[in-house]
Amino acid sequence: MASLFASASLIFALQPLFARLVTPLLGGSPAVWNTSMVFFQAALLIGYFYAHALQRVRSLSAQVIVHGTLLAAACVVLPLAPSTLLGEPDVQQPSWWLLGVLTLSVGAPYMVASATAPLLQAWYARTGRYDAHDPYFLYGASNLGSLLGLLAYPLLVEPLFGLRMQSVGWSWAYVAVAVLVLASGAVAVVASNRVYGSTSAEPTPAAAQATVVLDTASETHTSTPASEATGHVTSPWRERLSWLAAAAVPSSLLIGVTQHILTDIASAPFLWVPPLVLYLLTFVVAFRKGAQRAGSHLLTLHAGLVTLVMVLPKSPYMSLDVVLRLAALFAAALVCHLALSAARPAASRLTEYYNFVSLGGVIGGASTVLLAPMLFTGIIEFPLALAATMLFRPRHGIEWRKAADVSLVAVSAVIVAALTGWAKLEPFTLGVAGFAVFLNRGRPLLTVPIIVVIMALLDAHLTSGEQLMRARTFFGSYRVISVMRPLGEANMFLHGTTVHGVQFRDSARATQPLSYYAAGSALHEAVSAALPVSRAANAAFIGLGSGAMACVLRDGDRATFVEIDPAVAAIARNPRYFTYLDVCPRNTRVVLGDGRIEMARFAAGSLDVILGDAFSSDAIPAHLMTREAVRMYMNALHPGGVLVLHVSNRHLAVVNEAVRVAAAEGLPARIWRSPGRETSTVGNLENPSASAVLITKTDSAMNALQLGAHWTAPPALAGRAWSDDFVNFVRPMRETPLDVKPTSRVQ
């Protein structure tokens, strides 16, 4: 039991640990975690097939020797570290580059360790003990180890230990678990010899029937005697496809919910874990002994939560938004997994059943992470998966049938009106749609299209204006829309839910930087103050956006934009969308790559100003704000140079963390949050509130900038500063930003 618990904890703790190691290599993108989840699902599936094949070897001694050899061979990649065999990150094919790095770095130890649980249970079945014919009581230790290993990382491991110590610690834990597993195998061999006289002898029929199975997504186990099989499907392939679907849909939904949370907050383990924990719990509940189909209370809750997610695409309160989607994930996945559990076949087909369940989990995750970005420009797979969970509800009659029928007519009219532009999806019309879905929750073939269409329409019209383009990549989802303002037509660049650039289309105003970079904003003022008075400047901007910073520079100044996503570079260079890089030709160039990697190429003392502005929606690329990162920036700066960090964020006190880093490095800093300005001619979106931290090498360099009194020296803050070895995302969620109250510019 100890071996099972330890091995399950080990492999599930590895998932957030290694994702934490590779996330900085791809710009801190939230997609790193989702891609990693797909990889680990696939590796678990391979581990399961390996365990299933090894059990066919009659000699128990041979099984133990083979598994021990593979456990030892996998140590060649330890201690944990991202493999460098594939070179630097490939921003053109980031998903495949990441999958390759994961395979080379942790594929072997993860696959072999994941096979340990079913092998140990199979070995126990051959020990001849009084309970060897039914080893399924060991499943509790495996499930508990999985959940505790997953939870331990963000709650204990990450806050208490640095990343290097985590890597070394996991490597030693792997060796210890391998020794423990081999010791368990040796005990099983001795016991089997004593009972059967030879480890190649066949166990008792009862033990032989104890087929051991492992679900690749959750490591949840079950055995079902033939007497408990529920129903019979005429077509075996129809039955198998139903298993695939019931496993694939919630797996896809898991990825969708996780992506939503990470995009608007941060790609951090404490946010990675909750969706996966809830997903695993649904397996535990659905496959517990005596589990039945979803009851009426769960079905009502499921329909209600799906309806709320449909009519509330974006809450003004992030915590409410997250809780709602997590609750919907749990209820929807539980409905699917209860249907999956109820469809389990006789015990003689358990291995086949779990093969398809495992494969379904991989298909659901892989189609969302790898296939959807190539097929859809928007996040359409999320409403598709959410709506599809309605198909796994048990059929039942319709209450208030007349009202339900009338509501279907009403929602059809709402959809037609929205599609033709006669009406907008406002609270009343959304209420009609939600009412129709809830009343007709027993008619999934009717409600599924309603959910998908309504959510797709809401996503398409999240911001008013004419949509000019939409794109989706590994790094994010982008839109360019045309909006009318009192001064004329403007194009707006949105990344997720955040505006990343605005430009007037009128040639007379095209050189006027807007949004966070508008005149009078903290970013505009900080960069302008940093430009040398007596000579041309050399600047580096991490993050391109629409390219507006080119128009903050002066004639003769040089600038390098570092952008990780080729799609963003293409948008900024397309004259149909933005022309900042053309109308303000300040000797600018765009370099594709991660900010840390590309900034390291600059010669020491070669830059006058560096602007760090590489947010993905509101997600924080923490590796660009650590002590090591700031140290590298300072090395590239001229003695009188300036580092400007854009720290605007709707949910986290990022400014506090930047202040801590500057203080830890002994560097002077100033902070200011410029207020948003909205007038009769300029809207708030063109000039929103912007928060910046300005850092120099010396006090004299800071004084030379002649900043206004509104740029204040921050107070000292307790707590460890962020580093490559330590990042704490919980702290900025709890703290109040130092610049919480925007202040007007002092004249």
Four-residue CA torsion sign, 124, 125, 130, 131: positive
Question: What confidence tier does 428 reach under pLDDT thresholds 50, 70, 90?
Answer: confident
Return the domain boundaries, the chain: 1-209, 247-462, 509-734
From 139-143, 503-507, 539-543, 716-720, the region with the lowest mean pLDDT: 139-143
**Is 208's pLDDT higher than 50?**
no
**Whole-angstrom Cα distance, residue 40 to residue 46?**
10
3-state secondary structure of 204: coil
Give the Cβ contact number of residue 196 at 10 Å.
17
**Which region, left, alpha or beta, applies to residue 231 given φ > 0 means left and ψ of -120 to 50 means alpha?**
left
pTM of the model: 0.80
SS (H, E, C) 25-66: HHCCCCHHHHHHHHHHHHHHHHHHHHHHHHCCCCCHHHHHHH
**Is 704's pLDDT higher than 90?**
yes
From 41-55, 215-229, 412-426, the region with the lowest mean pLDDT: 215-229
pLDDT of residue 616: 60
**Whole-angstrom Cα distance, residue 457 to residue 659?**
42
Structure-token pair, residue 587: 């000797």
Calculate mean pLDDT across residues 285-297. Answer: 75
Structure-token pair, residue 561: 């934009």
pLDDT of residue 99: 93
- Position with higher pLDDT, 321 vs 615: 321
Which amino acid is it at 169? Answer: G
- Position with higher pLDDT, 96 vs 296: 96
Structure-token pair, residue 270: 């404490």
Q: Measured in whole angstroms, how far is the alpha carbon of residue 366 from the centre of its chain?
A: 14
- Position with higher pLDDT, 676 vs 46: 46
**Whole-angstrom Cα distance, residue 493 to residue 503?**
9
Calculate mean pLDDT across residues 15-44. Answer: 86
CA distances (Å), origin 57, targets 199, 210, 351: 10, 16, 16
**Whole-angstrom Cα distance, residue 138 to residue 221?**
9
Calculate mean pLDDT across residues 103-121. Answer: 87
DSSP for 497-524 reads TEEEEEEESSTTTTTS--GGGSTTSHHH
pLDDT of residue 601: 94
For 398, phi then psi, to 5°, come to: -100, 125
Which amino acid is it at 589? Answer: R
- Which residues, including other chains, have CB under 8 Å from residue 311's CB and lie 6 or more apart? 430, 431, 433, 434, 454
- Position with higher pLDDT, 432 vs 235: 432
**Whole-angstrom Cα distance, residue 191 to residue 405?**
67
Calculate mean pLDDT across residues 412-427. Answer: 79
- Position with higher pLDDT, 94 vs 191: 94
Closest CA to 63 of 199, 198, 174: 199
Sheet holding 466-473, edge to edge: 466-473, 476-485, 488-495, 498-504
pLDDT of residue 268: 67
From 103-107, 149-153, 529-533, the region with the lowest mean pLDDT: 149-153
pLDDT of residue 619: 64
pLDDT of residue 350: 60
**Whole-angstrom Cα distance, residue 127 to residue 206?**
12
Calculate mean pLDDT across residues 608-634. Answer: 85
pLDDT of residue 352: 73
Question: What confidence tier does 571 reach under pLDDT thresholds 50, 70, 90?
Answer: very high
Q: How does pLDDT run across 461-495, given as a tens digit for each residue?
A: 656 678 898 888 888 888 899 988 777 888 999 88
pLDDT of residue 1: 65
**Is 205's pLDDT higher than 50?**
no
Calculate mean pLDDT across residues 247-259. Answer: 92
Instruction: For the chain, give the number of residues.
Output: 747
From 415-419, 648-652, 682-686, 728-732, the region with the lowest mean pLDDT: 682-686
- Position with higher pLDDT, 294 vs 417: 417
pLDDT of residue 127: 65
Calculate mean pLDDT across residues 240-246. Answer: 91
- Position with higher pLDDT, 289 vs 506: 506
Question: What confidence tier does 683 reach under pLDDT thresholds 50, 70, 90?
Answer: low
| Helices 444-460, 296-311: crossing angle, 10 deg rounding | 30
Question: What confidence tier does 154 reach under pLDDT thresholds 50, 70, 90?
Answer: confident
Which architecture does CATH list for 1-209?
Answer: Up-down Bundle (1.20)
**Which region, left, alpha or beta, applies to residue 545 given φ > 0 means left and ψ of -120 to 50 means alpha?**
left
Question: What confidence tier does 230 reach under pLDDT thresholds 50, 70, 90?
Answer: very low
Max mean pLDDT range (394-408, 617-631, 642-656): 642-656
**Whole-angstrom Cα distance, residue 136 to residue 120?**
11
In DSSP terms, which residues pair with 478 in a beta bridge? 471, 495
pLDDT of residue 251: 94
Q: What percent of the chain stands above pLDDT 70?
A: 85
Which amino acid is it at 512? Answer: Q
Q: Are 544 and 590 in contact (CB under 8 A)?
A: yes
**Whole-angstrom Cα distance, residue 91 to residue 180?**
41
**Whole-angstrom Cα distance, residue 267 to residue 315?**
20
**Whole-angstrom Cα distance, residue 698 to residue 721?**
20
Quick check: do 1-209 and 509-734 share a fold? no
Question: Is it true that domain 509-734 has CATH number 3.40.50.10070?
Answer: no
Mean pLDDT across the chain = 83
pLDDT of residue 141: 59
**Whole-angstrom Cα distance, residue 460 to residue 647?**
28
H/E stretch holding 240: helix 236-264
pLDDT of residue 232: 45
- Which residues, including other chains, have CB under 8 Å from residue 45's CB and lie 6 or more apart? 216, 358, 359, 361, 362
